[in-house]
Amino acid sequence: MIYIVAFSAKGCSKAADISRMLEEKEFRLFSKTSGDSRCEKIDVPISEWTGAAFQEAEGIVFVGAAGIAVRAIAPHLRSKMTDPAVVCVDELGKYCIPLLSGHIGGANILAHSIASAIGAEPVITTATDINGKFSVDSFAVSLEMNIGNMTLAKEVSAAVLDGRSVGLKSDYPVHGDIPHCLTPSEGGDIGIYITSGFKKEPYVRTLRLFPKNHILGIGCRKGTRREDIEKLV
């Protein structure tokens, strides 16, 4: 679900334009102004609305000033692994800026899609994108893999940007072209390991990517505490 929120009459019109490009996604239109029947009226402070949106939406598009969006989302930031994609579009539709979760949340892709649909300029600031480099978090998301350690993911990105060698090892068959910055190897200083295990570390700094290919079924006695189940899992 994508939430689109506007702050003026022009913004509501632009929000409606944006909603028309979201053909394959569910969306809701909101507004802090009145007089546009297409948008649901927000009657609470925008920070409070944003807090609820963070729990409910996979993406939030603010149609208005970037400062409004930044102030609204700031109290609710938790982790790039869980925060929704946040994109800001000015009310005239000139610029489209991904502010949060550019890779894992898909804000960069959403911004490009919106910009293409309404004729805006996408303002992308993530280092790997502007340098045309491999992004390990985008790679993991595209193949539906969990990232084992975000600190190591940043170190991999830094190595890629610096032009250093990054290894690649996989317990699963690899098909298609391997990104040119990755070198299939059995060891080295830093590398990516696609696995379902925890024991082996082929690299001095091993970033594990876990395919989402396991299903865990659970049975329990009535009254079993959620915390006990989580601990067992």
- In angstroms, rounded to a whole number, what is the distance separating the alpha carbons of residues 209 and 217? 22
Predicted confidence (pLDDT) per residue in 66-100, tens digit: 999 999 999 999 998 899 999 999 999 999 999 99
In order along the chain (233 residues), what is the average pLDDT of each group of 10 residues? 94 92 84 81 94 95 97 95 95 96 93 95 94 93 93 96 95 90 94 93 96 89 92 88
Q: Which pLDDT belongs to residue 215?
A: 87
The domains found in the chain, sorted by start residue, are 2-125 (3.40.50.11220), 134-211 (3.40.1390.40)
Q: Which pLDDT belongs to residue 154?
A: 95
Q: Which pLDDT belongs to residue 35?
A: 65
- In angstroms, rounded to a whole number, what is the distance separating the alpha carbons of residues 107 and 221? 42
**How far, rounded to the nearest angstrom, does the alpha carbon of residue 169 sit from its chain's CA centroid?**
25
Using the structure block, give the residue that is written with the tokens 């000139």.
94
Q: Which pLDDT belongs to residue 44?
A: 94
